[in-house]
């Protein structure tokens, strides 16, 4: 189907601004008077939030970071559907905007964003629930065997494009998943270095 370009542009901008909200940082400052960027890994995502505020803060950050991806994608599907390349591409662009907002949040000067795993999960939970379940299963197995969240995240990112493709049979969504995966792997480059050195923290 044809899509309304001004509507798509508004959705992309809104998705980026929503994705830029650093929920973990906001919650840690409100409830613990702590700046996540100055403790632990310095990351504003759920894993570092858990280190600061325990499981309640970690889970709250996880849910909100997933919502940053899920809500714009749900709006995109409601507006455009997923029939036809243009509609599929429009929804993927909205998802990518929310995801990049999390990685490069405008409210933090486009720096010190999260690594994108939860937000990507929220995006594809709407686009491909079965694909996300497969990636989640890989995450749990890899994290449990390695005792490291980063290994689980990297394993989930690696399997996501194939899982989305086989679940949905929509090449545009699978290509979008590949772009997300590459960004996630790049965001974990320091973790990869620590894993190679054997210094990556365990769960």
pLDDT in tens, 120-166: 999 999 999 999 999 999 999 999 999 999 999 999 999 999 999 99
pLDDT category at 3 given cuts 50, 70, 90 is: confident
- The answer to whether residue 55 sits within a structural domain is yes
With the CA atoms of 125, 95, 17 and 121 taken in that order, what torsion angle do they form, in degrees rounded to the nearest 10?
Answer: 30
Cβ contact 167:130 at 8 Å: yes
- Phi-psi category of residue 21: left, alpha or beta, with phi > 0 → left and psi -120 to 50 → alpha: beta
What is the crossing angle of helices 46-80 and 5-19, to 10°?
170
What is the domain range of residue 190? Answer: 5-197
- The answer to whether residue 148 sits within a structural domain is yes
- The answer to whether residue 108 sits within a structural domain is yes
pLDDT digit string (tens) for 27-46? 999 999 999 999 988 899 99
- The answer to whether residue 15 sits within a structural domain is yes
- The answer to whether residue 161 sits within a structural domain is yes
Average of per-residue pLDDT values in the chain: 94
- The answer to whether residue 180 sits within a structural domain is yes
Q: pLDDT at residue 203 above 90?
A: no
pLDDT digit string (tens) for 88-129? 999 999 999 999 999 999 999 999 899 999 999 999 999 999
- The answer to whether residue 202 sits within a structural domain is no
- The answer to whether residue 203 sits within a structural domain is no
CA distance 203 to 117: 17
pLDDT, residue 40, reads 83
pLDDT, residue 1, reads 58
| Number of domains, the chain | 1
Q: Is 63 exposed, middle or buried (0-12, 13-18, 19+ CB in 10 A)?
A: middle
């Amino acid at each position: 189907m044809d899509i309304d370009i001004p509507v798509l542009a508004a959705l992309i901008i809104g998705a980026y601004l929503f994705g830029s909200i650093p929920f973990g940082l906001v919650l840690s400052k409100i409830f613990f008077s702590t700046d996540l960027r100055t403790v632990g890994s310095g990351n504003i995502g759920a894993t570092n939030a858990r280190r600061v505020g325990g499981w309640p803060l970690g889970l709250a950050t996880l849910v909100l970071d997933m919502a940053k991806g899920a809500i714009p994608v749900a709006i995109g599907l409601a507006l455009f559907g997923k029939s036809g390349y243009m509609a599929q591409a429009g929804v993927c662009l909205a998802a990518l905007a929310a995801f990049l907002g999390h990685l490069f949040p405008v409210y933090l000067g486009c720096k010190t964003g999260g690594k994108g795993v939860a937000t990507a999960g929220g995006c594809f939970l709407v686009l491909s629930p079965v694909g996300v379940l497969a990636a989640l299963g890989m995450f749990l197995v890899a994290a449990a065997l390695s005792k490291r969240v980063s290994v689980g995240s990297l394993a989930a990112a690696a399997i996501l494009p194939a899982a989305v493709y086989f679940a949905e049979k929509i090449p545009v969504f699978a290509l979008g998943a590949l772009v997300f995966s590459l960004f996630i792997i790049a965001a974990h480059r320091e973790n990869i270095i620590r894993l190679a050195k054997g210094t990556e923290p365990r769960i």
